[in-house]
Amino acid sequence: MDRSAQFDELRRMMTERRRVLLQTRESQQGELRALQSQDRSREYEEGAQVKLADDVLTTRSETARREVLLIDAALRRMDEGEYGECMDCGQEIPIERLRALPFTFRCQEDEEERERTLRGNVPRPSL
């Protein structure tokens, strides 16, 4: 399979993932609105459970929103003919990496270098 056909497959996969994420996020937002609209004069323990559920739903919703943004950016790069190229070194990102992380925009080496820089060049512990 040539790279173009592989990109078409990745586009379909990301588009489907995006659809599922948006549906799930909308459902979570509905649950969150329902939790927030409930009367707050509960017992302490029940209130803590509601707060925990609120926090979990908020975190999941934000994670889904971020993934949708990454997918949208990858689809834009596809449309612009820049998909699959490392934004740092300009080399082709291996298709195996794109299958694992379809919205990545760096090759593995440059991503690892970026992470080391963000950590302050602290070496990764060996296993």
Query: What is the pLDDT at residue 91?
Result: 96
Percentage of the chain modeled with pLDDT above 70:
83
Contact 54, 35 (CB under 8 A): yes
Domains of the chain: 3-119 (1.20.120.910)
Average of per-residue pLDDT values in the chain: 86
Regarding predicted confidence, which is higher, 103 or 29? 103
